[in-house]
Structure 1
Amino acid sequence: MKKLISMLSFALVLSANDTTTNALTLSQALELLQSQNLEIKAATYDVQSAKAKKDTVSGMNWGKLTFEQDMARSNDAGNVFGFKLTSREATFGDFGFADFLSPPPGTTDVLKVQPNDLNYPGYRNFFQSKLKYEVPLFTGFAISSYENIMDEMTKIKSLDKEKIATEKMYELKKSYYDMALLDSSIKNLNKILHNINILENTTKTMIDVGYAKKVDLLEVKAKKGNVERLLIQMYANKKLLYHYISFLLNQKVDAIIPPKSEVPMPKFSDKEVLSRNIDIKKANEGLAIRKSMLDASEAGYYPTVGAFGEVATADDTFLGDANDHKAYTVGARLSWNLFNGGIDSAKIEKSKIEKMKMQSQLELAKEGIALKVAKIRTQIESTDAEIASLKRELDLANAIYDNYEGRYKEKLVSMSDVIIKQSAQIQKILQLQIAKNKRIEKIFEFEKLANGEKY
């Protein structure tokens, strides 16, 4: 039996060591988060999509090269004559010269003779192969303005991804520190449960010798049940935290190594927070977009110039006599909208208003972030004072409980008095946990505003 117990104990130790070995540290979890989190992956795809849109606009500068292949069969007079002319195969006979040279009998005015070959031609096949290149030379800075807009949009998508990553890091770090606080609270409650067990055994002994009553034992058992219920809740919260960490990392996580030190207060100045804040960066990019949109609106006042060139060949068979029937065309076109009822000026005025609106929104964002920073700093300072006070109160509650436990053994106080002091002890533990949770939450919220401390 002793050997069996020893073997089981050794197996438990090995299992505990394996769990510790496989447990994730916070830095390891943060690295996994960047590559495994599904929301960050989706945001990465958004950035790639924005870059593709930017390349689409940039490609307009290079123009377009198109190939066209026409295949037709027609006996329409205009089409047949045009087909022959395009194929460079038109003859004088196609103009009806046969009827002109030998007019029908009784015709006095030869100019009124209808050329039958021209009006009623036979069917003809037509194959035309054409290669055409068109390129914009000047668009009134419209393309460059849209390029700038798409570039700013790509930056905004990158900032969106960065914001999501910062949010997920905040949630992961908070989960780790929440786990550490739960472990600390569980440790304290287990210590209280141990004291209750001692008190329970003491009460039983005192009942046996007539120094205590059964109601005292019932009070102890009731308090013990209360502590056990709290412990069950805390273990359930730990289980939920593991589920949430697994969700964030997109993989099963059964063990972590919670941080042992408290979260330090970030050292960012208010100016640094404003310069690092993602929402303000996005507002700046939004203002840049409005400026580019204004430039794009002003493009309506400028002419546009484009050039084109094409080569083609045509025949009644596919690529028949292609070299003899080839043709080329080159040219350019200038287009200038001189008047359109004031639409362009209205668009420019709208863009100016949108730009001014964005400027005011940027200033509002800065003021709002500065207000949040001041509020969080005040809340953290208040919570620090609350935690320091609760720690002293917990030390006092522990000392008072130890004192009342000793006095109960001497029959100087009742069991109700001991239970009351123990309730105060538990209350301070829970209050301290809530205060520490609040402090961690505010510190990480401060870091989010500054887009700060990645690890």
Structure 2
Amino acid sequence: MIKYFLLIIFSTSVFAQIVDFNDVLNLTLQNDKNLQKQKLNTKISKLDIENINAISYGKINLSEEISRTNHSGYVFNSKLSSREASFNDFGFSENNGDFNKEPKNLNYPDSRNNFTTKLTYDLPLFTGFKLSKQKEILKLKQKAEILKLTLNKKYLSYEVLKAYNQAVIAKEFINASKKAQDSINFVLKSAIAFHKEGLVTKIDVNQARLHKLNINAQVIEATNNYELALEYLRFLSSNDKISNVKELKTIHYDITNFTTLLHEALKNRDELKLQKINKSAMKKNIDIAKSSYFPSVYSHLEYGFNDDKLTFEDDKDYYTAMIGINYSLFDNTKSIKKQQTKITYKQSILDYEKTKDFIKLELQKDLLNVKTKEAILKEKVQAKILAKEIVEQSKLMYKNRLISMSELLKQEANFQNSKAQVLMAKYENTLALAKITLDLGLNLKGKND
């Protein structure tokens, strides 16, 4: 039995993992399904560029067409194509000098097989710069997909920070609740001892017991919250072995110079870079619309064989070489499309400027939020210190029968509430500071990638 118990302890210690923030973050960035999907989008955008290159290289097709017909036109054409047509096919052997006579050989031919084997090459020679502009747009799209991936990593990192620090705070709250248990146990023992001596009534003892039950409920709730926080970390990181967390993750950043911070934000923010890419793409769409005003030039090369059976004989082959030019003399939709692309480009400029304004506003709000959270944390810490002094004094006063049990428990509850508020203030302060790094376009490691 002892061996079995030791085996359980050993197995638990092997599979359990105590992690810090960087552990969870690295695992999450590695295993997140949305990031993996985004990486695939970057590969798709790369293939889109290769597709444009493939179009510019043209297309080679090999085809084999097999037919059987007694259609007079098709039969005669197949004979011509295979170089087998004779004067007899025109009915010269039947007319006997009568040129108005309808030749039977020509109009009612026997059914004939026809095998057409051909190799074709179609190549766009000039598209009015349309292909080259589309390629440039697709390159911009590829850059945008990479930026989106970077941006998603940053916001996912922030989500990991929230979850990790929430788990740490939940863990600290369990410890605080257990200390509260120790404190109320001391008060309960004192009340029981005083009651035996007849110094206090049974009500004092029951009040202490009631407060103990409430503290026990807080410990159970805090433990549940901690387990829920750990479960979310396991979900984010795809690691079911996480069983504990280390210290709170805090981020420090100099926030004294708003002008410097705003300059860095406008330089680094991926949202602004995306709007800039969109603006460039919309401008190139104007060039694509202009391409319809140019003629399109294309070529078609064909080499093949025609016969009543599959063959590759030299006297049955043929070739075709063709260059075509297509130009639309009148199409009023071209002007409309051009105007639409110009309007869309102006909209992208407005979106770019609006994003800059939003970044400035967001930074201002979050800087104010950081200052507020830091000030609140300082006040909560002072309140906790004062509440501790009050509860210690209250214990002495109760011991000397200067205050009632209800007043002592009230001060004890105030102290526990102060500790909880300090923990929440610490948590909110770490999030506020982390949000500044996102405002500056940086990840939580202080880098722009």
Taking structure 2 as the reference length, what is the TM-score of the superposition? 0.92
Within 2, Cα distance between the matches of 1:235 and 1:149? 54
Instruction: List runs of 5+ in structure 1 lacking aligned partners.
Output: 104-109
Within 2, Cα distance between the matches of 1:217 and 1:249? 48
Provide the residue aligned with 2:384 in structure 1: 394
**Contact 1:266–1:447 under 8 Å retained in 2:** no
Provide the residue aligned with 1:107 in structure 2: none
Q: Equivalent of 1:298, from 274, 287, 290?
A: 290
**Contact 1:126–1:314 under 8 Å retained in 2:** yes
Q: Is 1:326–2:317 an aligned residue pair?
A: yes
Instruction: List runs of 5+ in structure 2 lacking aligned partners.
Output: none
Within 1, Cα distance between the matches of 2:175 and 2:427? 17
Provide the residue aligned with 2:280 in structure 1: 288
Provide the residue aligned with 1:159 in structure 2: 147
Superposed CA RMSD in Å reads 2.3
Within 2, Cα distance between the matches of 1:256 and 1:168? 21
**Contact 2:434–2:444 under 8 Å retained in 1:** no
Q: Is 1:188–2:162 an aligned residue pair?
A: no
Provide the residue aligned with 2:65 in structure 1: 70
Give the stretch that moved more between structures: 361-370 or 260-269.
260-269
Provide the residue aligned with 2:330 in structure 1: 339
Within 2, Cα distance between the matches of 1:387 and 1:371? 24
| C-alpha deviation, 1:149, in angstroms | 2.1
Q: 1:176 to 1:377 in 2, by over 3 A?
A: same
**Contact 1:174–1:444 under 8 Å retained in 2:** no
Within 1, Cα distance between the matches of 2:303 and 2:68? 22
**Contact 2:128–2:293 under 8 Å retained in 1:** yes
**Contact 1:309–1:330 under 8 Å retained in 2:** yes
Provide the residue aligned with 1:26 in structure 2: 21
Q: 1:14 to 1:81 in 2, by over 3 A?
A: closer
Provide the residue aligned with 1:99 in structure 2: 94
**Contact 1:168–1:248 under 8 Å retained in 2:** no
Within 2, Cα distance between the matches of 1:453 and 1:307? 52
Q: Is 1:437–2:437 an aligned residue pair?
A: no
Within 2, Cα distance between the matches of 1:264 and 1:224? 39
**Contact 1:315–1:322 under 8 Å retained in 2:** no
Q: Is 1:368–2:363 an aligned residue pair?
A: no
Q: Is 1:232–2:227 an aligned residue pair?
A: no
Within 2, Cα distance between the matches of 1:158 and 1:410? 71
The one-character-per-residue Cα deviations of 1:36-85 (angstroms, maximum 9, x if unpaired) are 11221222222222322332222111110011211111111111110011
Give the stretch that moved more between structures: 352-361 or 322-331.
322-331
Provide the residue aligned with 1:223 in structure 2: 211
Give the stretch that moved more between structures: 212-221 or 375-384.
212-221
Within 2, Cα distance between the matches of 1:281 and 1:256? 39
Q: Is 1:142–2:130 an aligned residue pair?
A: yes
User: Which letter does structure 2 place at the counterpart of 1:295?
Assistant: D
Secondary structure of 1:312's counterpart equals strand
Q: Equivalent of 2:301, from 285, 301, 309?
A: 309
Secondary structure of 1:269's counterpart equals helix
Give the stretch that moved more between structures: 282-291 or 347-356.
282-291
Pairing of 1:35-114 with structure 2 (within 5 A): 35-100=30-95, 102-103=96-97, 110-114=98-102
Provide the residue aligned with 2:270 in structure 1: 278
Within 1, Cα distance between the matches of 2:20 and 2:128? 57
| C-alpha deviation, 1:322, in angstroms | 2.5
Within 1, Cα distance between the matches of 2:6 and 2:72? 102
Q: Is 1:414–2:404 an aligned residue pair?
A: yes
Between Structure 1 and Structure 2, how many residues are aligned? 440
Secondary structure of 2:390's counterpart equals helix
Within 2, Cα distance between the matches of 1:333 and 1:149? 27
Give the stretch that moved more between structures: 152-161 or 119-128.
152-161
Within 1, Cα distance between the matches of 2:394 and 2:369? 36
Within 2, Cα distance between the matches of 1:158 and 1:211? 75
Q: Is 1:428–2:423 an aligned residue pair?
A: no
Q: Equivalent of 2:230, from 242, 254, 258?
A: 242
| C-alpha deviation, 1:19, in angstroms | 6.8
| C-alpha deviation, 1:266, in angstroms | 6.4
User: Which letter does structure 1 place at the counterpart of 2:18?
Assistant: A
| C-alpha deviation, 1:373, in angstroms | 0.8
| C-alpha deviation, 1:226, in angstroms | 2.0
Taking structure 1 as the reference length, what is the TM-score of the superposition? 0.91
